[in-house]
A and B are shown apart, each in its own frame.
Chain A
C-alpha cells in the first residue's frame, strides 16, 4: 500500500517538474516559443474537457461545453471592458456565473438521458452562439476586441502575479497560468472522484433507479456534477478570452463542443487523466498535420477512425491491456 502511494506521489512530482520546469527549459533552449501557445491551448482545452469528463462520470454525454466556455469568456470580457474589473477576480466570477447558469439549465435537462441529453447539450452550444449574436451586451458578430492583458495581482501590498503587459515573455506567463489552473482542476477532479461523492456519481453512471432506491439524492448529485463541469468550462473560456484578447460568438462553436467530448473519449472515459492526454494527442496531432495542407482534415479524421477501431476504450486502456496480458 505504501509502495503504491509512493509511486503515486513520485509520479505527481515528476509530472509537476515536467510541466513547470522541464517544458519551459526545453522551450527556451530550443527557441520554439510558439510551442508555448500550443501548450497553453492544450492546458486550457483539457480543463474544459475535464468538465465534460465529469458529466460522463455521471453517465451523461455532454456536447455543450462550448456554450459554457463561450459564456465564461464573455462574462470575463464584459466585466473587464465595461466595468473596469481586473482580470483576476473575473476568473472565478466567470466560473461561478457558468455554474449558476448550468444549475438553472441543468435542473430540467439533466432529467434527460442518453442521446437526448447529448442532443440537447449540442443545441445548447448553438443557443449560446445565437444569444451572443443577439444580445446587445455582447456586441453581436463584431465581438469584444482588444481586451487588456491581465494586470498585476497583489495581496497585502505584495505583488503575487506581475502585470502581464510589462512582462517580456507574456507567453510564458500565460503558459504558467494555464498549467497552474489545469493542475488545480485535475487535483480537484481527482479528489472528487475518489471521495464519497465520486463513488455516488459512479452509482449514477451504472443505474440511477437503483442508486435512488437506496437513498442517493440523484437530482442533487447530477446538478452538482454538472455545475462543477460548467465551472471548468467557464474558467477555460475566460482564460482563452484573456489570451486572445478577444471573444466572438464564433470563438466556441459546435465543433469545439464536439472536440471537448472527443478529447475525453480519446483519453479514455475510465481515467481521470484521460481528458488531459486526449487533448494533448488530438491538439498536437492536428497541429502536426498542418503541413499536409488540404489533406489535414482527411488524415486527421481517418486516423481518428482507425484509432477508434483499434482502441475503442481510449488511449489509456492500452496500459490496462498490456497489464492483463503480462
Chain B
C-alpha cells in the first residue's frame, strides 16, 4: 500500500509538471498545444545528448533542455501562432497549426535522433528500502526536483511581475491590454515558459524511463487527461490533475493487474462519467 502511494506521488509530480506547461499555454493563448508531448521528447533527447553523450553535468543538461525549448516556444508563438490567430476567422484554426507542428517535431526528432530507445546513466545510485517502500534514489531525487520546480513555478506566477501580468492576461485579455500589459510580449514569454516546462520534465525523466521518438503522442494525451481532470487553464487544476492521474495509474496498475492491460480503459471511462457531472473539471472556468 505504502509502495503504491509512493509510486503515485512520484508519478504525479512528473505529470503535474507536464500539465502545468500545457495549461499555461492554454490559459494565455487559448491554444491547445498538440506538440506538448513532442516538446517533452525533444527535451529528453537534448538531455540525453548533453549528459549521456557529451558527459557534461546533469544540471547543465537540464538547463540546456529548458533553454532550447524556451527559445523554440518563443519562436513558435511569434512566427506561427500569432500570425494564424490574427488571420483566421475561427479560433480553432490554431489546432491545425498545433497538430502540424506536432508532426513537424516528430519528423525532426526522428531525423536527428533516430528511432531507438535511449537512456542515460543514473544520476544517483542505490535504492531506498525502508518501511515497506522500495524506491531507487534517483526516482526520489527526480520526484523532489519536480516538486521544487512546481513550487517555484507557482511562486513565480504568484509574486513576480511577469507572473502577475500573465495571470491578468489569462483572466481577461482585453482588460489586461487596457491596463497597459504588453499582451504580445507576455504571450510569448508564457508560451516559452510552457515549452520550457515540457523540456525540463523530458530532461528529468530521461534519467529514469529513457526516451524514444514515438512517445510524444501518448504523452500529449496524458497531459490532456490531466488538464481535463483539473480544468483547463487553471494552475491549481493542472497540479491536482497530475497528482490524481499519477495516483490512479499507480493504484490501477496494482489493483487491476489480473485483468490485463485495462488500467487506462478504466481511467478513461471514469473520466467520461466525471466530465458528464462536472464538465469543467475540478477547478475549470466555464467553457475554458
Contacts and interface: CB of A to CB of B under 8 A. Distances in A.
Interface of A: 56, 61, 105, 108-109, 111-116, 118-120, 122-123, 126-127, 130-131, 133-134, 254-255, 258, 261-262, 265-266, 269-270, 294-298, 300-302, 304-305, 308-309, 312-313
Interface string B264-280: 11001101110110011
B275 A127 contact: no
Interface extent on B, as a size class?
35 or more
B32 interface: yes
Contact of B232 (A115, A123, A261, A305): A115
Interface string B251-288: 00000000011101100110111011001110010011
Q: Which 8 A-B pairs have the closest CB atoms?
A: A108-B276, A301-B103, A312-B88, A297-B107, A298-B107, A301-B104, A304-B100, A265-B96
Interface of B: 26, 32, 34, 80, 83-84, 87-90, 92-93, 95-97, 99-101, 103-104, 106-108, 110-111, 217, 221, 224-225, 227-228, 232, 260-262, 264-265, 268-269, 271-273, 275-276, 279-281, 284, 287-288
Contacts of A305: 80, 97, 100-101, 104
A309 B110 contact: no
18 contacts: A105-B272, A111-B276, A114-B288, A115-B32, A120-B228, A123-B221, A126-B264, A126-B268, A134-B261, A134-B262, A262-B100, A265-B92, A297-B106, A297-B110, A300-B107, A304-B96, A308-B84, A309-B80
A294 B221 contact: no
Contacts of A309: 80, 83-84, 87
Mostly helix, strand, loop or mixed at chain B's interface? helix
B33 to A, nearest CB: 10
Given A134-B261, A312-B93, A127 B269 contact: yes
A312 B84 contact: yes
Given A109-B272, A130-B264, A262-B99, A123 B225 contact: yes
A197 to B, nearest CB: 22
The winner among A127, A134, A265, A312 for most chain B CB atoms within 10 A is A312
B276 A109 contact: yes
A95 to B, nearest CB: 23
A126 B220 CA distance: 12
B261 A119 contact: no
A309 B96 CA distance: 11
A325 B122 CA distance: 63
A165 to B, nearest CB: 37
Contacts of B96: 261-262, 265-266, 304, 308
